[in-house]
Amino acid sequence: MTVATEKKLDYQVADLSLAEWGRKEIRLAEQEMPGLMAVREEYRAAQPLAGQRVMGSLHMTIQTA
């Protein structure tokens, strides 16, 4: 589904019904990851990754489950 905002920014969303679930997950991460939130706050103004594509990978093991 392509969605256009009033500012004419087009983007694709695979399943818009998952938006609230995503917001909940972000709020949880903000509470559970204070170190990440500190980095977020430190670099908020500079935005050193602006315009870049960033990929992450999480390898789950029995110890981290």
* Residue 37 neighbours by CB distance under 10 Å: 13
Helices (H) and strands (E) in the chain, counts: 2, 2
Global pTM reads: 0.50
- CA 55 from chain center: how many Å? 11
Distance CA 6, CA 8 (A): 5
The per-residue pLDDT string of the chain (65 residues; one tens digit each, 9 = 90 and over) reads 555 545 666 777 788 889 899 999 999 989 999 998 999 999 999 999 999 999 988 887 877 65
Task: Decide: 13 and 21 in contact? Cβ < 8 Å.
Answer: no
Distance CA 30, CA 38 (A): 10
